[in-house]
Amino acid sequence: MDAYKKLVVLRRVMINLKSGTAIEGVVTTSRGPLLEVKDAVAHQEGSEPTRVDGVVIVAKADIDFTQLF
């Protein structure tokens, strides 16, 4: 298991994307270049946070940085 996987899987995080959007939620799996996030909330500048139904898949290449809670 890689170090990144040990740090983030099954933890609540704020994933800040290179696009400027942030995804808050619980990382449930990390497989290769992808993260699966459940119980997600999308944060975009200039608008209220929006709860996301289902699962959000995030490409690790699109991540600027990750905050652990």
Q: Write down the pLDDT at residue 1.
A: 52
Task: Please tell me the distance from the alpha carbon of residue 63 to that of residue 42, in angstroms, as a whole number.
Answer: 14
Q: Which residue has the higher pLDDT, 59 or 7?
A: 59
Centroid of chain to Cα 25:
6
- Has residue 10 got a pLDDT over 70? yes
Single pTM value for the model: 0.91
- pLDDT tens sequence across 22-69: 999 999 999 999 999 999 999 999 999 999 999 999 999 999 999 999
What confidence category does residue 5 fall into, taking pLDDT thresholds of 50, 70 and 90? confident
Task: Please tell me the distance from the alpha carbon of residue 38 to that of residue 55, in angstroms, as a whole number.
Answer: 5
Q: Write down the pLDDT at residue 43.
A: 98
21: three-class secondary structure by DSSP: coil
